[in-house]
Amino acid sequence: MARLVLSECCGLTPLCLRGRGGGGAIALLAPPSLAAGPRRPVAAAGAIHREWALRVSAPTRLTSVVEEDNRGPSHVEEEATNSLAAEVGGDGDAFDPGTPTPFGLAEIRAAIPKHCWVKDPWRSMSYVLRDVVVVLGLAAAAARIDSWLVWPLYWAAQGTMFWALFVLGHDCGHGSFSNNAKLNSVVGHILHSSILVPYHGWRISHRTHHQNHGHVEKDESWHPLPERLYNSLDNMTKKLRFTMPFPMLAFPLYLFARSPGKTGSHFNPSSDLFQPNEKKDVLTSTASWLAMVGSLAGLTFVMGPLKMLKLYAVPYMIFVMWLDFVTYLHHHGHEDKLPWYRGKEWSYLRGGLTTLDRDYGWINNIHHDIGTHVIHHLFPQIPHYHLVEATEAAKPVLGKYYKEPEKSAPLPFHLLGVLAKSLKSDHYVSDTGDVVYYQTDLKTAESSD
């Protein structure tokens, strides 16, 4: 049961590249990002393909992208007609986000200013320095004051800062931190190991998500349960999957657990999660992770278990909840139903448009605008400090396919209600159909009250 909760959060399915079918595995477990414009030289697309070949967490296949960008005018006109028909409807029906888009990736890319693609390693490092100083300062202050009036405030603040460190490490994994692969790897290892995340192991699995976002079977991040699988679950498993706080505690266990269609864990270089040429990277990350575990054990011996529980363990769990909370809301909880795709209906663009932007108020700056997620999914090589500008530039092209996030108060407490509502209603999708939407099991909804 625990593995089912885990895999719904972060589970992996086999990549098409490996020639392994995921159907049978998915029936067992259910899981927890260019080309140049249409008139630009083809070389621009090749340059971007080379940039994505750095073995970072970005799509390694551009088949769907090329297909999107090489469509003829008649194809675009046909999709525009379909989109318009869906928007107005024969009887005034509302806009359907599952219809093909009248635009391609090239049009979105052309709308984004060129400087938004520029990676400034000095600027990126300044964010690392800022976050590390805050983390150390909070820990020093809390240890010195050592008051139960202060500890809860420290836990909330430090757990949020751990999450901020994760986001910067995530950018290293995408290669959006800098153009220097060695710098990305060194900084990524330091940041992720400090919060007990195996950098390369997670980076490689996260790549699968960006390659297959919005695909019912192949996406790895919170992808939906088919109805037949959902109906086969016992009531306790459903309760664990759809009742707070259990889904928000899945990430650390997922790192060790088996995933759909895979064997082993993110720490085992021989795991089916990885290609043979990735074993050395995984070994490096596992060794870094073990070094951090050893350091924590040494500090626990010196400072005592209670002090380390307060200084590190509780903030770590707050970080885990942030990670599961944010990643879940990237793909669930919009007031309108979001499509999921199978087969030929899926494309890289349509899948990317199933993600959601979220506004976190004051937290936006702290966690490096990770809530600006749609453009990140479509173009993960854009640095986080350009995502807001890139999104604003792309909105006129995206039109109704972009879901404007609800504005947050200084702290995003409104999203707790969104999360609760989604867990109560987004339970499964149909076993058939290439464009499907979440459906609700009334019994599960009632039991979660």
- Which segment of 125-129, 254-258, 277-281 scores lowest on mean pLDDT? 254-258
Instruction: Give tens-digit pLDDT for 126-145.
Output: 999 999 999 999 999 999 99
Query: What does the alpha-carbon distance between residue 111 and residue 108 come to, in Å, rounded to a whole number?
Result: 5
Which candidate, 61, 68, 53, 77, places its Cα nearest to that of 106? 68
Average pLDDT over residues 184-192: 97
Higher local confidence (pLDDT), 227 or 220: 227
More confident residue, 368 or 42: 368
For residues 232 and 228, give the distance between their C-alpha atoms in angstroms, rounded to a whole number: 6
Mean pLDDT of 385-414: 96
Domain total for the chain? Answer: 1
Range of 186's domain? Answer: 1-449
Identify the residue with better confidence: 46 or 349: 349
pLDDT in tens, 310-347: 999 999 999 999 999 999 999 998 877 889 999 999 99
Single out the residue of 201, 200, 191, 198 nearest to residue 289, CA to CA.
Answer: 198
Range with lowest mean pLDDT among 178-192, 269-283, 426-440:
269-283
Average pLDDT over residues 345-361: 95
Residues 312 and 192: their CA atoms lie apart, in Å, by 14
Lowest mean pLDDT among 239-248, 339-348, 352-361, 389-398: 239-248
Nearest of 330, 347, 322 to residue 403 by alpha carbon: 330
Most confident of 1-10, 12-21, 94-103, 127-136: 127-136
The CA-CA-CA angle for residues 420, 421, 424, to 5°, reads 90
pLDDT interval class at 147 (50, 70, 90): very high
pLDDT of residue 449: 62
Which tens digit of pLDDT belongs to each residue from 369-388? 999 999 999 999 999 999 99
Comparison of pLDDT for 69 and 170, the residue scoring more? 170
**Residue found by looking up tokens 């707050």 in the block:** 318
Average pLDDT score over residue span 19-30: 35
> Average pLDDT, whole number, for the chain?
81
The residue type at 434: D
SS (H, E, C) 104-144: CHHHHHHHCCHHHHCCCHHHHHHHHHHHHHHHHHHHHHHHH
Query: What pLDDT is recorded for position 49?
Result: 39
Is pLDDT at 430 greater than 50 in this prediction?
yes
Residue 216 pLDDT exceeds 60: yes
Torsion sign over Cα 72, 73, 76, 82: negative
Phi, psi (degrees; rounded to nearest 5) at 257: -80, 160
Stretch among 115-129, 217-231, 404-418, 429-443 having the lowest mean pLDDT: 217-231
Q: Evaluate whether 79 touches 102 at the Cβ level (below 8 Å).
A: yes
Where is average pLDDT lowest: 53-67, 94-108, 122-136, 193-207? 53-67
**80, 102 contact by CB (below 8 A):** yes
* Angle subtended at Cα 24 by Cα 217 and Cα 223, rounded to the nearest 5 degrees: 25
More reliable by pLDDT, 328 or 31: 328
The torsion defined by the Cα of 216, 220, 224 and 225, in degrees rounded to 10, comes to: 100
Looking at residue 255, its pLDDT comes to 85
Report percent pLDDT > 90 for the chain: 60
More confident call, 67 vs 418: 418
pLDDT tens digits for range 87-117: 433 344 578 889 999 999 999 999 999 999 9
Ramachandran bin of 284, using left for φ above 0, alpha for ψ from -120 to 50, beta for the remaining angles: alpha
Q: Which amino acid is at 399?
A: G
Does residue 210 contact residue 59 with C-beta atoms inside 8 Å?
yes
pLDDT of 274 reads 85
Alpha helices in 146-269 (DSSP H): 151-174, 181-194, 199-211, 227-232, 235-242, 251-256
